[in-house]
Structure 1
Amino acid sequence: MSSNNIISVIDIGTTKIVALVGKKEENGTFSILGLGHVESRGVTRGNVLNIIETVKSIKTAVEIAEKQAGTTISEVYVGIAGQNIECIVNADYLNRNKSEEEISQEELDYFIKSQENISLKPGQQILQVIPKHFEIDGEVVENPVGCIGKRLDAKFHLIIGLTQNINSIKRCIANAGLRLKKIILEPIASAKAVLHPEEIEAGVAMIDIGGGTSDLAIYHKNMLVHTAVIPFGGNVVTSDIEKAFGLTNKDAERLKIAYGKALPEKNDSEEVVVIESKIQGREKKEIDLNNISNIIQARVEEILGFINQQIMLADGKKHIGIGIVLTGGGSLLKNMPQLTSYCTAFESRIGYPLVHINQNSQKLMNNPQYATAIGLLILGSEEENKKTIEKKTEIKQEEKATISVTDDFEEVI
């Protein structure tokens, strides 16, 4: 569904599946019409492993969103992450025959489209091509459209995924009775939802800590500089608590959410949490809050270590001017910004996905775990606008061609 400025999206995560229906208002913000949030089954570290279970979760989430929105969802934009996503930079150039003419949007689109023809490893395919850097005859430009010159040089950010994983997502959407409009990289979607334009201009790193993966997107001067998907998220923290204290996975998750801290606090050693087992015959457990925090800190530091490697790989000191924005469910751990700043040496804040949300819907969406879904909504709307503009351009060109033929015919007569 994408008519009347209404967009539908699905975020297929490791721990949750979210179906979202939103409408773009005249002021450019989005109103949320329907939200379906259910437990995810069949997904591991961002990759669909069990199609049947995943389809069931998608259908349930869609039904909830449809009921709230009072409409039927038929077509959707979907996010992808997963540990097998690869991002590379490809440099290319275009020698222009008509160097005195301005570069048109059509010419630039053709150049970007040509990047999909590069050689890849067997079993891979390009999901998305994102321009990273442009130069015209050696001069750096932000947008080459409207410029003149002989040679256009560019660097492109290529998002590459495994064909098998991409096909699994396509199959899940089709089996759920929906039409897939486009697959979008989740770190880019999350960044769209939580970053302010000033941050994207100054240079910022967005870290989305989900259940199965932690996603990174670095921006500088309104360009995407680097992306990465780390195959660890909140689930490994829960697993560590489960093993350390002999708890069930559900009890460990509840303990993490209710008492978890990324950094211990002074009074933690004096406080004890009592966990009553729901299994008959098992004794209750008394757990020191300081021990919980130490376990969480060790694992989070490891995840941030992997992220820090990616930041250094992207020359982060050069590109990140304003700091780090944390989002996703994992960002809600108490003291998470402080630990992130300590491990990365960058100022950090929590990113709530409210930048583009209508005031009436902000209370519903005031949670970092919805960053990806809201970002998909925004990017889906941009895709629809782009298609509308392209369609209008085609109609105008057809009208011009018709007028030209008519004029030529009249001259012959």
Structure 2
Amino acid sequence: MDTQYIFALDIGTRTVIGLICKKVGEDIHVVAHQIEGHQGRAMRDGQIHDIPAVALAVKKVKTKLEKKLGVSFKQASIAAAGRALRTERGLSLKKISKEKSLSKEDIEQLKLEAVSKSKEKVQKKYPGEQLYCVGYSVIETQIDGYQISKLEGQKGAEVTLEIISTYLPQVVIDSLFEVLKRAEISIKSLTLEPIAAMDIAIKENLRMLNIALVDVGAGTSDIAISKGGTVVGFGMVQKAGDKITEALGDYYLLDFQQSEKIKLEFGKKDKVTFKNVLGIQSEVSKEEFCQVIKPAVEELAQSVAEEIIKLNRAAPKAIFCIGGGSQIPMFKEFLAEKLGLPKERVAIRDRQSLEGVKFPSRQLTGPEVITPLGIASVTDKTIDPNFFTVKVNDKEVSIFNSQKTKVAQALFNAGVDIKELLGSTEKITYTLNGEVIQATAKRKMPSMIKLNGQIGSLDTPIKSKDTIEIVTDYQHTGVKLGEIIAPYKGVVLVDSKKINLIKSVKINGVTVSDLTTHINNGDNIEINRIDNITGLAQHLNVDLDKYDLLYKSTPLKREEQISANMELISKQKESLNISEHHIEKINIKESQHQPKGTEVLANGKKLTVVKDEPKVVDVFDLLQVDITVPKGTLVLTKNKETTDFSDSIKQGDEIEIYWSGDNER
């Protein structure tokens, strides 16, 4: 049975390497290996160009390994080439409350926004390419301009978070899957070549150091950076060993296959004899060979150094080189020079330098075996598959498990807009009684996240076959008329009769009475309000020459301002002839219709909703719940049962509106 073995396949630009490994204690034992070259240039720069030809090489490796061990292999672990990776940085910035500590959920939101920014950048570089994020790392966090390594629990006014994220095109996965299908192999696990190489070449105890791993293959040079105990970034240079082969062919007039053969011979010989395409024979020394390839080697080292600086923002402390191309003469020395490092800080990692690997064969001893060994190592450590699927709102989403994957990663790959999660806002401008006013319109409530039917968060870990649901059926709230006129509302009592201070409201010249009316950008609002004694007297049709309006027994002047809830009494002026004018209270007729109020108990408070067909949303407006800083999941109940904003209310209903994670209501 093949279940006791790990079948690791490294499908490279020039060759396919297959390893059959077993786990013995903490060590990896290689029990068989096979290497096959491609026919012609079936792969270029790490990308499959001729699927049948690559499938044939894979099939040969599989068949020969099966004959060696007498075992049929149905599954293999593979890695996607670094050539396909797209990396980009993203920065998120958020104003925060100085009184509230940053939570894990806040940090996940910042990460998600930063990843969204990075994807926007990478999509501009590769328009039309279907990409999904296979991993990201936080590279810098700041609060109020100061670098802070751990954001959770911190306070301040402004927080920034920068990430570097990695994307993989769908075409890369599709071509790999098709090759294995034709070779009659299913995928046990899929990883990235830089991840596999890092896992075996730079163990976790070394990742506290700032080290760059450079895998120089035939078509590409893949780069991974470790720092602070983790892998902080991946990169790729589309130059590698083939660059040297092509320089050799151009100089001596050789075809690609012959140039490659001569290049490999110089790894073992000091002189090589060959004929060019014109039939002219040459005998070339290794010294001359080095001079011919020197410009190409220096160019390759320069490109690799520039990518390392871009990823790391500085030269690392050391470089580990792997891959067959890393053995090219002068490459290590040029790379050290371009990065300003001592020569001894750039080293080749070969099989002998690895810990915990047993490989009895004397073949494949160089750095070219590191990646296939890494594929085997990563496979052994994987509990869930590296490449799995989840459902987001019934849509199947592919997830690359390059780290402990959370809900945030799945939502991002599903294309969920971060505004759907946080509750979106927009700025609007309107005119109120001639004054131009800008306001923030709360357009949508924060969404609820459910994982397998249970309430979750962006920080909740996920696994294969999980189901995620985003509940976004909350009503749009926007800016409502009631919010705008609230500061102007109020009543006064005149001889125990209630008088509304607001006489009428017009929007764009049309009288409006519905307080839930939404205010749009550019609206003109006019509030006709009673502001002073003169206005009140005119509204009541009272002659101030004959009557006084008294507040606490004191007559008020005509220009005196009125405040809400004032209690006034009318009284005939004493100078009038009492015999001719009998004293009577003013017969006040209310100037406008007063809808009958609906009394409810909301969050323990008695409130009156003045509206013909009141709903839960009207109670929400009166309570003035702050949704700008979510404190959990918003919960709405009516008479102890779950409700929503559009539900109607009646006299005596008990309403509760609160955050599920908030202790205060």
Change (3 A) 1:2 1:85: farther
Higher helix proportion (structure 1 or 2): 1
Q: Match for 1:177: what amino acid?
A: E
**Aligned-pair CA distance for 1:220:** 0.7
Change (3 A) 1:44 1:35: same
Q: Match for 1:336: what amino acid?
A: F
Tell me the residue number matched to 2:44: 44
Select 2:149's aligned residue among 140, 143, 154: 140
Tell me the residue number matched to 1:34: 32
Q: Which moved more, 1:84-93 or 1:53-62?
A: 84-93
Q: Match for 2:282: what amino acid?
A: K
How far apart, in 2, do the equivalents of 1:272 and 1:178 lie? Answer: 43
SS at match of 2:321: strand
How far apart, in 1, do the equivalents of 2:163 and 2:66 lie? Answer: 38
Tell me the residue number matched to 1:57: 57
**Aligned-pair CA distance for 1:3:** 3.3
How far apart, in 1, do the equivalents of 2:173 and 2:270 lie? Answer: 46
Does residue 259 (structure 1) correspond to residue 266 (structure 2)? The answer is yes
SS at match of 1:202: coil
Q: Which moved more, 1:355-364 or 1:130-139?
A: 130-139
Q: Which moved more, 1:347-356 or 1:304-313?
A: 347-356
The within-5 A match list for 1:246-395 is 246-259=253-266, 273-277=271-275, 282-317=279-314, 320-321=316-317, 323-346=318-341, 347-353=345-351, 354-361=353-360, 363-384=362-383
Tell me the residue number matched to 1:184: 191
- Segments of 5+ residues of structure 1 without an aligned counterpart are 262-270, 395-413
Does residue 126 (structure 1) correspond to residue 132 (structure 2)? The answer is yes
How far apart, in 2, do the equivalents of 1:362 and 1:274 lie? Answer: 28
Instruction: Tell me the TM-score normalised to structure 1 length.
Output: 0.74
Tell me the residue number matched to 2:88: 88
SS at match of 1:298: helix
How far apart, in 2, do the equivalents of 1:77 and 1:385 lie? Answer: 13
Select 2:230's aligned residue among 223, 229, 249: 223
Aligned length in residues: 364
Higher strand proportion (structure 1 or 2): 2
Q: Which moved more, 1:184-193 or 1:298-307?
A: 184-193
Change (3 A) 1:215 1:36: same
Select 1:234's aligned residue among 241, 259, 263: 241
Give CA-to-partner distance per residue, 1:257-298, whole Å, 9 cap, x none: 23269xxxxxxxxx983514499x934212243331122221
Change (3 A) 1:82 1:32: same
How far apart, in 1, do the equivalents of 2:240 and 2:181 lie? Answer: 28
**Aligned-pair CA distance for 1:204:** 0.5
How far apart, in 1, do the equivalents of 2:16 and 2:326 lie? Answer: 18
Q: Match for 1:307: what amino acid?
A: V
**Aligned-pair CA distance for 1:52:** 0.8
Q: Which moved more, 1:219-228 or 1:336-345?
A: 336-345
Q: Which moved more, 1:31-40 or 1:189-198?
A: 189-198
Give CA-to-partner distance per residue, 1:339-391, whole Å, 9 cap, x none: 3212222220011145244335474452211111111111111113789x99x
SS at match of 1:184: strand
How far apart, in 2, do the equivalents of 1:308 and 1:50 lie? Answer: 32
Give CA-to-partner distance per residue, 1:39-65, whole Å, 9 cap, x none: 124211111111111111111111222
How far apart, in 2, do the equivalents of 1:210 and 1:239 lie? Answer: 14
Q: Which moved more, 1:155-164 or 1:374-383?
A: 155-164
How far apart, in 2, do the equivalents of 1:8 and 1:74 lie? Answer: 9
Does residue 173 (structure 1) correspond to residue 180 (structure 2)? The answer is yes
**Aligned-pair CA distance for 1:88:** 2.6
How far apart, in 1, do the equivalents of 2:80 and 2:312 lie? Answer: 25
Q: Match for 2:354: what amino acid?
A: V
- Segments of 5+ residues of structure 2 without an aligned counterpart are 387-403, 406-461, 464-665
**Aligned-pair CA distance for 1:156:** 5.2
Change (3 A) 1:274 1:362: closer
Q: Match for 1:212: what amino acid?
A: G
Q: Which moved more, 1:117-126 or 1:147-156?
A: 147-156
Change (3 A) 1:67 1:338: same
Q: Which moved more, 1:14-23 or 1:155-164?
A: 155-164
SS at match of 2:72: coil
How far apart, in 2, do the equivalents of 1:201 and 1:381 lie? Answer: 23
Change (3 A) 1:382 1:275: same
Tell me the residue number matched to 1:268: none
Q: Which moved more, 1:221-230 or 1:363-372?
A: 363-372
SS at match of 2:149: strand
Q: Which moved more, 1:84-93 or 1:225-234?
A: 84-93
- Higher RCO (Cα < 8 Å, 6 or more apart): 1
**Aligned-pair CA distance for 1:242:** 1.8
**Aligned-pair CA distance for 1:131:** 3.9
Q: Match for 2:333: what amino acid?
A: Q
Maintained 8 Å contact 1:36/1:64: yes
How far apart, in 2, do the equivalents of 1:311 and 1:48 lie? Answer: 26
Instruction: Tell me the TM-score normalised to structure 2 length.
Output: 0.48
Tell me the residue number matched to 2:75: 75
How far apart, in 2, do the equivalents of 1:133 and 1:88 lie? Answer: 12
SS at match of 1:306: helix
